[in-house]
Structure 1
Amino acid sequence: MQFNNSSRFIQYSTLGLITAMLFLAACSKKDLVAPPAPEHKPDTQSSITTIMPDMPVIDTQIASFMALYQVPGASIAVVKDGKLVYAKGYGIADSTTMDMVDTSSLFRIASLSKFVTTLGVMKLVEDDSLELTDKIFGVGALLDTTLGTKPYPAYIQDMTVEQLLRHEGGGWGNSSNDPAFAQSTYNIDQLIGWAINNRPLTNAPGTVTDYSNLGFMIMGRIIEKITGQNYVTFIQQNVLGPSGVANMQIGASTYALRKPNEVRYYGQNGNNPYGYNSNAFTRLGAAGAWIGSPIDYMRVMVHNDGFTTVPDLLAAATTTALSTKSTISNYAFGIRISTNGNWYHGGSLSGTRTWMVRTYHGYSWAIFLNTRNNTTAFNTALDRLIWPAVNSSATAWPAIDLF
């Protein structure tokens, strides 16, 4: 997802200065020697109590990537068989203060928020509070007839929960003029009503895939309608808290309102990471407004990955349902599924790029950046960063669990 904003936030001269520092900063850490493993587990915050030695098979790749694509700061976390085996921050969190990225630095995770929302939805499905076949709009439907003008246009009353989770709602996608970013002063209900009235669905739900941020914003509203709770409160109590995550929260639109320990975001090609209308950014909520660290995200993943190494929050059948890809695309619920069964997804906003993978053979990782480059080469290189370490039998992963 992105905002197309032509105002320039940072000049290439500034990025150039940052880039010149990257080969030193990306791998310069004040803690290069690992002490003995601690006797106790760390708390639920996104920090690690042991200090990681360098792992060149990862660190060299990331340093080169950051320099090539002018990435000020990055953070990663890698899980193997349910254990956090590597986590490290690289480069600059904020060039104004010269703070460096560490494992507790918070980043906008953008569309990785959708998997978090999916877990909340599937919790309600498992509790029999919701069915995947439930309709969204219409008499007796989840959001009833309170939004938009009746009679409803074609297909509106046909949408189901499952179709929105798979981006198969029939329209409202980001292939053109994403309605999630329209009418920036509207609240979520006003925006949904506006979309019903002004953005006719072009296809019957379930027949075409069109990646829809608005669809997941609607899922957040459904969570609120069913539970009577604020979306964020429900997710914190039923997904994040039980996964041991205390730091994830909804971010803010401006640098001045950034959260404690949140990185600064850097635009490229004239994009302004802080050009969002504050209401429109917060409104993204369930679709893309969470912030967190890679360790936060990996805590969520190991408690919801379908493996037996760490007990999952959801039943095995529920996890199978959410990770079964569509018959018409590679989308499951909030994630994509590769041909060999790997889960993956990315997040993208001006000034941030995130990536997560869960492999079929027990690895998972997350990579968060505080800039974005929209080229195909950048996205391909981002995906390839951790695979050499994962695919090599010579990689010496730590024996301890850093969680």
Structure 2
Amino acid sequence: MTRPPQWLFGLTLLVGWSLAQTLCIPPAPTYPSGRPITSYSAASLEPYDRVMQRLLERYQIPGAALAVAKDGRLVLSRGYGLADVRTKEPVQPDALFRLASLSKPITAVAVLHLGESLVSRGVYPDLNSFLHEKAFDLVKMPPFGGQIADPRLKNITLRDLLQHSGGWHRGWAGDPMFRPTLTDIARAMQRPERLSSQELIAFMMSRKLQFAPGSRSAYSNLGYAVLGQVIEKLSGQPYEVYVQSMLQPLGIYSVRAGKTRLQDRLKGEVRYYDFPGAPLVKSVVDGSLVNRPYGEFYLEAHTANGGLVASAPDLVRLVVALEGWRGPTLLSHEALREMLRRPKLPQYEKTPRYYALGWGVRVPQPQAQALPPGKTSGQGSSDPRNPPAKMSPVLSLPPEQLEWSHDGAFAGSRTLLLRLPEGVVLAALFNSRPWNDWSFIAELRRGLENATKAVRHWPEYDCF
């Protein structure tokens, strides 16, 4: 077979590059249904626009951003609705949003990244040894009142913190980083409610754990706050500085620590809105009456567990880099597998979903096939008294076949980062959290998954 001349390859690349430059230049905003949409997409990706516009309308959310990558290429990056209702400023595709708990996978990646660097320097023989390090041996923080209340605290490992098995259970004892438990702690310490993460950790060291570390998983903001302190102690850098130094070589520049007060919001950051009819609250900063997004919690104490801000395209770029599609390697393939591995906890032994090291993971299951009329299955009988045998759940797949994600929620913020097995990564960020949040997040995830299935042709351009 005759090979095409080399100049034809060059011409093809040039045409592709020129097309990408044309498509990736943000056009003027359009206003379907009265709401602005900014930046670029392709006609075949219109199902995503329908999902985002429907959600803004149905749940009365002012604005949002969505970024979508396919096989390592950024193919959609759009802003929807308003970043500021008063000024009518449209959401730009690279606008900054509070991530809330979507900060946790970034912290988890930073811990693994730090661990691999320490292994390469000979501090630990391997990554698993690092993950079994005792967290409070590294932090070396004095407890409030001078005495540790529970000796099991010293058994908490970095792996325990990453997979939420450290021993704290907010359902049983409240979340120390949020009201009303935060209010009780501040009173006990005779301090204002704007407690730092170090002060909250020190106080919780003077209280009992709710279960033995490593015996079960229970979602813990405090555990990730401790991980932030571990990063600072081992790296010798502030948490934010370490994260930025890790991400900037990948071209990710938007990730930074957010601020509590409206007047301190960052350049390019959206304004946050509570749901209609939500009450004002006393600010944790100065006691003045404020909207909940700007004072019900002290964002500066949440940096490692929920206090970061970022843009949607940069979140997608992070996952693309983790999968090795482009740029320098952030984590080794072995570290990526460890990050997504099923924890050795009884509650996850036979479930298709589990919380790994900083990510919620789902193992896709084969679809049951409908039988033709008159056919039987199982033991040879379709009689309901002898039902067909159920298929055993698939419990393990390689990373490229897994679905992994994380979401986040504060008053005024709702976020989702979703990696699908089809080579698709999506980041959706909103500047309000509906009162019926459980319905919203389920509809968001389902809508994005269905929109992905509806795409018949993926663009070839790359807007990274």
Greater Rg over alpha carbons, structure:
2
In structure 2, relative to structure 1, the CA distance for the partners of 1:231 and 1:281 (3 Å cut) is same
Q: How many angstroms does 1:339 deviate by?
A: 2.2
Whole-angstrom distance in 2 between the partners of 1:361 and 1:311: 23
Deviations 1:349-402 (A, max 9, x none): 0001000111123111100001112432211111122212322351x3221101
Whole-angstrom distance in 2 between the partners of 1:277 and 1:62: 28
**Paired position in structure 2 for 1:390:** 452
In structure 2, relative to structure 1, the CA distance for the partners of 1:81 and 1:384 (3 Å cut) is same
Whole-angstrom distance in 2 between the partners of 1:392 and 1:370: 27
Whole-angstrom distance in 2 between the partners of 1:249 and 1:173: 27
In structure 2, relative to structure 1, the CA distance for the partners of 1:83 and 1:252 (3 Å cut) is same
Q: How many angstroms does 1:307 deviate by?
A: 4.7
Match of 1:378 among 430, 436, 440: 440
Whole-angstrom distance in 2 between the partners of 1:30 and 1:234: 32
Q: How many angstroms does 1:24 deviate by?
A: 2.3
Match of 1:109 among 99, 113, 119: 99
Deviates more, 1:157-166 or 1:372-381: 372-381
Matches within 5 A, 1:152-167: 152-167=149-164
Question: Is 2:322 the partner of 1:315?
Answer: no
State the number of aligned residues. Answer: 355
Question: Is 2:229 the partner of 1:221?
Answer: yes
* Structure 2: tracts of 5 or more residues without a match: 1-30, 125-129, 187-192, 280-290, 349-353, 365-401
Q: How many angstroms does 1:237 deviate by?
A: 0.4
Matched position secondary structure for 1:179: coil
In structure 2, relative to structure 1, the CA distance for the partners of 1:311 and 1:359 (3 Å cut) is farther
Whole-angstrom distance in 1 between the partners of 2:420 and 2:55: 22
Whole-angstrom distance in 2 between the partners of 1:174 and 1:346: 19
**Paired position in structure 2 for 1:96:** 86
Match of 1:339 among 351, 358, 363: 363
Matches within 5 A, 1:24-35: 24-26=33-35, 28-29=36-37
Deviations 1:70-118 (A, max 9, x none): 1110100001111111111110110111100121211101111111111
**Paired position in structure 2 for 1:122:** 112
Match of 1:274 among 284, 293, 310: 293
Moved over 6 A (4+): none
Deviates more, 1:376-385 or 1:142-151: 142-151
In structure 2, relative to structure 1, the CA distance for the partners of 1:250 and 1:309 (3 Å cut) is closer
Whole-angstrom distance in 1 between the partners of 2:443 and 2:173: 26
Match of 1:195 among 199, 204, 212: 204
Matched position secondary structure for 1:401: coil
Whether contact under 8 Å (1:307, 1:362) holds in the other structure is: no
Q: How many angstroms does 1:174 deviate by?
A: 5.8
Q: How many angstroms does 1:207 deviate by?
A: 1.3
- Going by fraction, where is helix more abundant, 1 or 2? 2
In structure 2, relative to structure 1, the CA distance for the partners of 1:78 and 1:347 (3 Å cut) is same
Whether contact under 8 Å (1:94, 1:100) holds in the other structure is: yes
Whole-angstrom distance in 2 between the partners of 1:85 and 1:356: 16
Matched position secondary structure for 1:168: coil
Whole-angstrom distance in 1 between the partners of 2:87 and 2:161: 42
Matched position secondary structure for 1:67: helix
Whether contact under 8 Å (1:298, 1:366) holds in the other structure is: yes
User: TM-score, normalized by length of structure 1?
Assistant: 0.82
Matches within 5 A, 1:3-402: 24-26=33-35, 28-29=36-37, 51-53=40-42, 55-127=45-117, 128=119, 131-137=130-136, 141-144=137-140, 146-148=142-144, 149-173=146-170, 177-181=174-178, 182=182, 183=186, 184-198=193-207, 200-238=208-246, 240-268=247-275, 270=278, 272-276=291-295, 280-304=298-322, 306-308=323-325, 312-327=329-344, 328-329=347-348, 330-340=354-364, 341-373=402-434, 374-392=436-454, 394=456, 396-402=457-463
- Taking only the aligned residue pairs, the percentage that are identical comes to 30
In structure 2, relative to structure 1, the CA distance for the partners of 1:112 and 1:224 (3 Å cut) is same
* Structure 1: tracts of 5 or more residues without a match: 1-21, 32-50
**Paired position in structure 2 for 1:37:** none
**Paired position in structure 1 for 2:22:** none
User: TM-score, normalized by length of structure 2?
Assistant: 0.72
Letter in 2 for 1:312: T
How large is the Cα RMSD of the aligned pairs? 2.2
Letter in 1 for 2:196: N
